[in-house]
Each structure stands twice: as C-alpha cells, then as structure tokens.
Amino acid sequence: MTTPHTSRVRAGVVGATGYGGLELVRLLAAHPAVELTYLAGSKDGGPDFTEWFPHLAGVIEAPLHAFDPAACAERCDAVFVALPSGASGQVAAELWERGRRVIDLSGDLRVPADLYRAWYKREPVDPAVQTAAVYGLPEWHRDRIAEATLVANPGCYATAILLGLLPLAVAGWLSPAHPVLVDAKSGVTGAGRTPTLNTHLGELYENFFPYKVGAHQHTPEIEQELGRHVEAKVLLTTQLLPVARGIYAVSYVTLDRAADVGQVYALYRETYKHAPFVRVHAPGRVPQMKHVRGSNFCDIGLFVDERTGVVQVFSVIDNLTKGAAGQAVQNFNLMHGLPETMGLAGGPMFP
C-alpha cells in the first residue's frame, strides 16, 4: 500500500519477528522510497509473514525467510539487522562485507571490544568491523552517517539520555566532578518478545521495579558519546514500567556553573533548531511519555531546582521508534541521501 517512487531502495529486515523488527516492517511498508524485499526471522519461516503476524495482513505481502546471507545480500541494497545482541553484529558484518549498506540495531557494534566484553560479558565481533561502524545518532553524527555504509543504531535508553545530555556536554556545562544520575523507565517491549516471568502480565501489571541496577549495558555507549566532550561518569538506573512502549529518562545534573532555566532552555533550543525530531518544551512544562508514542520524536523538558542547583533533564521517546526502528529508518534516509523525515512524519498516536 506504499506510494510508488522512482528507483526505490530494496531493503530487508533480518530479525523481523522481534519487536524492533516488527516496528521496522511497519515503518518500511509505508516508506515511499523503500521496496521491502526480504524478511527473515530467527527461526524457520514460511510463505506468508502475516500467518504469524496477522496485524500486517493487507499491509505487506511477503514470505518469512530462514536467514541466508547470500540470498539476503542478493535481494537487498540495504539491510536492517535486528537480532539479539550477540548474534546481530556477526550477521551485520557478513552482509556489510558483501557490500550492502547495513544498519545494526543491536548493541554489538556500538562500543570497542574492551567495553563490550566488560558490559556484555561476551566476546565482541571483529574489532575492525566495529571500528568501521558509525554510531547512528543522527542529531549528532549526521554527516558521518551520510557517508557510512555500516551504522550501529544506538540503544533505546542511550538515545533518550544522550539527546537529553549532549547539549550540556558540548557546551562545557556538564561538570566532570559530579556523576550524572539517570533514573530511566522503560515499557516492556524493550525487554524483547521472548516470554519471561518479568514480562508476564500477571507479574508486571500494577507493578514497577528496577533491573540491572548499575550494570545496564547502555552505560558505556552513553559515556563514550559524552566522552567526546567531557569525562563524565553516568549512573544509569533502568526500571520496568507496566506498559508496552516508551522510555522516560530523568537525568540529574550538577552543572559546573550557575545557570537559570532560561539559559538552559536557550541552549537546547539553539542546539536542536535543525533537528526535526527533537522537541524542546518551554520551561515549566514536562513531557509525557504518551505524547511521542508511535512517533520518532524525542521530547525534552528542562528544570533547574533553585533550592539545590540541580538541573533535571526529562527526555522521552518511544523505545521502538526513536529508540530503535524509527531511528534506524532516519539513519537509512541519511545514508541514502533522502530527506531525514521521509517515512517518519506520522504524528504520535495519542491517546
């Protein structure tokens, strides 16, 4: 049901049966410059993708393949790889080495081998591949992404938090003397589609709890990106919300200078004036998680507490869109010289 377009890019999704993959399919099916030519899951496939995912009947007509690198590379100009970390990077590397443009949505290509080992407790992919991958945060690496053939799509938490903190880091206001405390909350789709006790509605409904306290694997990519500007330590607390989608991050920052909320707001407005997906709220207004649902927006709210001097940055995304598939499509657009917002202009679904 997509609009015709001259010379569409033939695109594939590997890992199409996970939540990130399904969101990619939803977005790519409506993308005017994409022809969706290859869908593969982690297991055996069949002739009709919608047999497993009836919500997409009438939206796409495609088989679900068992992944085969050669077939994938033959049918696609560009491939989104959305497999679990530990499997995804290797597949991405293989397709990239076959000359395809690749966007990897996993954590496998975001940080160097030593950090990967330390935080993922697993052997990394070939360091040469990792080094070749551009960190795909478009608001901050637009030019490099435009020239990239391999992109490491940022983590969902990292996206919200970096968009919230980078303006302070770049401006030199973020003090290395104080750790940045980030209290972040995520909907359950961030935990993937495999059923577990933690994602069982009987357990999570009317519930709320942290997980991976002080040990979340998005920490190093946040510190790495901030580290281009300031040596900052981040304490990331990740918590599970009893909802399907959304990330709400509150970052507590002690500046190394006095600044009122007007100055902070001016900094963010200036920083993001050309970023179509970042919406900075006026002082005194807080973003709501549902205001970005299903969209590629990141909403940011800013407070400066007069009693303590602490700056609070509220940053909100849909973890499956700006935090995964939407941002991947944004990267795809940049890599192919297309308008950054193409296929991503739909408004959030509220309510």
Chain residues 301-320 in contact with its own copies, contact rule CB under 8 A:
301, 303, 305-310, 312, 314, 320
156 carries an active-site annotation: yes
Query: Closest approach of Cβ 64 to its own copies, in Å?
Result: 16
**Pick 58 or 128: Cβ nearer its own copies:** 58
Name the nearest CA neighbour of 76 among 40, 122, 30: 40
Query: Closest approach of Cβ 343 to its own copies, in Å?
Result: 10
**Pick 1 or 128: Cβ nearer its own copies:** 1
Write each residue from 251 to 280 as x if it is in contact with its own copies (CB under 8 A), else as -, in one continuous string. -x-----------------------xx-x-
Contact in structure between 139 and 297 (CB atoms under 8 Å): no
* Segment 60 to 89, residues that bind its own copies, using CB under 8 A: 60
Q: 3-state class of 180 per DSSP? A: strand
- Catalytic residue chosen out of the listed positions 72, 76, 156, 298: 156
Q: Can you tell me the distance from the alpha carbon of 24 to that of 334, in angstroms, rounded to the nearest whole number?
A: 16
Q: 3-state class of 338 per DSSP? A: coil
Using the contact rule CB under 8 A, the part of the chain among 62-70, 81-89, 97-105, 198-206 near its own copies is: 198-206
- Tokens encoding 261: 């909320």
Is residue 4 a contact residue for its own copies (CB under 8 A)?
no
Which sign, positive or negative, has the C-alpha torsion 220, 135, 288, 295?
Answer: negative
Is residue 6 a contact residue for its own copies (CB under 8 A)?
no
* Segment 154 to 193, residues that bind its own copies, using CB under 8 A: 179, 181, 183, 185, 187-189, 191, 193
Q: Can you tell me the distance from the alpha carbon of 291 to that of 24, in angstroms, rounded to the nearest whole number?
A: 20
Task: Find the helix or strand (DSSP H, E) in which 34 lies.
Answer: strand 34-41
**Pick 125 or 338: Cβ nearer its own copies:** 338
Q: Can you tell me the distance from the alpha carbon of 26 to that of 329, in angstroms, rounded to the nearest whole number?
A: 11
Contact in structure between 303 and 312 (CB atoms under 8 Å): yes
Size of the residue set binding its own copies (CB under 8 A): 93
- Residue 71 — φ and ψ, nearest 5°? -60, -40
**Pick 47 or 58: Cβ nearer its own copies:** 58
Angle between helices 138-147 and 326-335 (to 10 degrees): 40
Query: Closest approach of Cβ 75 to its own copies, in Å?
Result: 21
Is residue 233 a contact residue for its own copies (CB under 8 A)?
yes
Using the contact rule CB under 8 A, the part of the chain among 62-70, 91-99, 329-337, 343-351 near its own copies is: 343-351
Query: Closest approach of Cβ 57 to its own copies, in Å?
Result: 5
**Pick 17 or 96: Cβ nearer its own copies:** 17
Using the contact rule CB under 8 A, the part of the chain among 65-73, 120-128, 148-156, 197-205 near its own copies is: 197-205
Name the nearest CA neighbour of 334 among 106, 162, 157, 141: 141
Task: Find the helix or strand (DSSP H, E) in which 225 lies.
Answer: helix 219-226
Query: Closest approach of Cβ 181 to its own copies, in Å?
Result: 5
Q: Can you tell me the distance from the alpha carbon of 71 to that of 49, in angstroms, rounded to the nearest whole number?
A: 17
List residues with catalytic annotation.
Answer: 156
